[in-house]
Amino acid sequence: VTYIILIINLIIVYLIISEKGYRSYFLLVILGGYSSNLFDRLYFNAVPDFIDLNYNGFHWFIFNVADIFITIGIICLIIAELVVYKKVK
């Protein structure tokens, strides 16, 4: 898993360097989340998830701040691509 995360980090760094405009900021947010998870995996041998959403005993997701950054970055990239696609069409 660590090697896969490292490869993904390298791909994102390449995309950031080759990308111009707002997309590079979204990729930086994703890179920050991936880097945080990579650090936790290398330092602690695990990625601690400590935010637990539950409602009336129903546990939904358990995640950490890095996961939030990754999710927000990906959602922003998807929205940006949809906006560009609508403008082109």
Give the torsion sign (CA, 36, 41, 44, 50): positive
Sequence ranges of the domains in the chain: 2-88
Residue 81 contacts residue 27 (beta carbons within 8 Å): no
pLDDT band (50, 70, 90) for residue 72:
very high
State the catalytic residues: 49, 67
**Residue linked to tokens 């927000």:** 72
Spatial distance between the Cα atoms of 64 and 41, rounded to a whole number of angstroms: 13
Residue 69 has pLDDT above 90, yes or no: yes
Q: What is the pLDDT of residue 41?
A: 85
pLDDT band (50, 70, 90) for residue 17:
confident
Question: Model pTM?
Answer: 0.76
